[in-house]
Structures are given as structure tokens and as C-alpha cells.
Amino acid sequence: MMALRLAVIQMSMSGVREDNVDKASSRVRQAAQQGAHLILLPELFENLYWCQVERETYFACANPVDHHPFLPHFQQLAKELGVVLPLSFFEKAGQAHYNSLAMINHDGEILGIYRKSHIPDGPGYEEKYYFNPGDTGFKAFATGVGSVGAGICWDQWYPEAARSMALLGAEILLYPTAIGSEPPESGGVDTKEMWQRVMIGHAVANLCYLGAANRVGTETVEGKTQTYYGSSFITDYMGNKLAEAGREEETILYADLNLEEARSFRAGFGFFRDRRPELYGPLLTLDGKTRRA
């Protein structure tokens, strides 16, 4: 496909999975009716962001890929509408739990699963309590609309993740996310601007299109309250914002992407020609010096 329409859905969630699935399905249908070929929903849209707190009861929200309660529904929806759906979900695999994404192709086939690699741990974002670090490595999925790479939320802060996906062939980088207000014990900083800037940097450094889908609204879980700042956006391969949502409204963003134009520009600009992998050894370490045996 020479050009494609990307849709990014910004929405609020309730504590009822069925309602969230119905709402997400409606938004996907709406996006498809507007000509979208690739449609991104926010992270863990099936529920409130329960990672605000540490409670063992929330492990019951996880499900295996096989016999999953809503993945088959979205597979059928993708096939019916002929769209590609990168879908975030809480995965149980044996005794492990992952923050995962299923890449559903336009024919309804799951092309593969990506498991979130970088897991945050701090007030309001207690993900290390729930999720094992992902073991799939980064991926570029050969979808019906082109090669798509997808990270999940905290992954979006890491240039190594974006570069890895681009090296694997990704031409579009997507990030479903759940981010908003920081509690007082974290300094109450508003991260919206830096959140957008780091991803715009990924788009420029890799000369790829990029989309981020955030949730919106205020959620209270076990007495803890957090407000998600929306601000979902789509940027082109030069870092120009093609579409941007506000901090409060539920909406769908659209942008038409010209992959052939981006390919030509990427090849001519020379970023990937002039890389020096043999000099990047410190990136394979934690301290910049010590290498594993």
C-alpha cells in the first residue's frame, strides 16, 4: 500500500470490561467508516488502570491468548472491516503475566504477540507488581498495510526500542499508552510535553511515522485517583504533528501516511547508512563499561 490512513483512538474507560470492549469496537467501526486502514487503541483499554495500586485480585484480569474473552471478537471485527488492529491486553502465560499487544492483521489473523519490555515502578504506576518483563524482543510486523512496530507505554521513552523496531524494518511506530498525573510523592510533574517530545524524537531519528494513543479522564481505583492527560498524536517522519488531541476529550485522530515518500527520504538522508554499530558497545551494558561474559 503506497499510502494509508492511520487512526488513533483517545477514549476513557470504566470498570466494566464488556462496556469498554463495546465502546472500543464502536470507535473502531467509526474509524473504519472514515477510511482508516490501521487503528490504534490505548493501553489496557479493557479496564480502569488498576496498576495505580498493588492488589493480588487484579491478576484475575489476565487471560491467555488461547480462549481469550475478547481477542477473537476483535479478530472478527478486523476481518469484517479489513483493518489492522494492534490490540493491548493483559496476558497470562503459564505462571507469568505480561502487558502484551496482539498484532491483528486485516484478515483477522494474529501475526504475533509483543510483550512490554520496559516495566515502570513508581507511585501511581505499580506495574512491576503485575507484569513480568517482556521476553519477545522488539518486533516489526509485516501487516497488510506495511511494516508496523509497536511498543507499549513505558517503552516509548527508550530510543533503543524505537531504533530496534526501525532496524527490523518498521516504517510506522505505534505506542498504546496510559499516562497522566503524577502523585505528590513523585513531585506532581506534568510530563505531557516531554512525553510527546521524546516520541517525536524517535520519529525523526528513525525517519518513521509515529502514533500514540492515550486514555483520557479521571479514574479512581481503591481510593487512588489519577487523571490521564490524553494529548494523543500522530507525527510524520520529519517530526511534524499531523494530528493532536486535547487533554480531556474523547476523539479519533486521522492522518494519511505516504510510506513510499518516507522510504525515499529515509534512504537519502543517510541515518541508517552512517550508523556505526561497532562503536555502540556501551548500549549493551547497564553501566556503560562492564560487559557480560
What's the pLDDT tens digit per position in 54-78? 999 999 999 999 999 999 999 999 9
Interval 133-157: pLDDT, tens: 999 999 999 999 999 999 999 999 9
Amino acid symbol at 117 = S
Average pLDDT over residues 234-238: 98
Q: What is the pLDDT of residue 291?
A: 74
Catalytic: 51?
no
Is the per-residue pLDDT at 86 higher than 90?
Answer: yes
Angle at Cα 61 formed by Cα 56 and Cα 65, nearest 5°?
130
Is the per-residue pLDDT at 43 higher than 60?
Answer: yes
Marked catalytic residue, from 23, 46, 116, 126: 116
- Grid cell at residue 124: 501511581
Is the per-residue pLDDT at 211 higher than 70?
Answer: yes
Interval 184-193: pLDDT, tens: 887 788 999 9
Is the per-residue pLDDT at 1 higher than 60?
Answer: no
The region of weakest confidence among 46-50, 114-118, 286-290 is 286-290
Q: What is the pLDDT of residue 102?
A: 98
In three-state secondary structure terms, 25 is helix
Average pLDDT over residues 245-264: 97
Mean confidence (pLDDT) of the chain: 96
Which residue do the cell numbers 496476558 mark? 91
Is the per-residue pLDDT at 292 higher than 80?
Answer: no
Confidence grade of residue 234 (pLDDT, cut at 50, 70, 90) = very high
Marked catalytic residue, from 43, 46, 171, 219: 43
Q: What is the pLDDT of residue 76?
A: 98
What's the longest Cα–Cα distance across the chain? 54
Output DSSP code: residue 173: E
Q: What is the pLDDT of residue 45?
A: 98
Q: How many CB atoms lie within 10 A of CB 94?
A: 6
What percentage of the chain carries pLDDT values higher than 90? 94
Average pLDDT over residues 227-249: 98
Q: What is the pLDDT of residue 186?
A: 76
Marked catalytic residue, from 23, 46, 127, 153: 153
Percent of residues in the chain assigned helix, strand, coil, to nearest 5: 30, 30, 40
Catalytic: 79?
no
Task: Count H helices and E strands in the chain, helices first.
Answer: 5, 14
Confidence grade of residue 182 (pLDDT, cut at 50, 70, 90) = confident
Catalytic: 278?
no
Q: What is the pLDDT of residue 185?
A: 80
What percentage of the chain carries pLDDT values higher than 70? 99
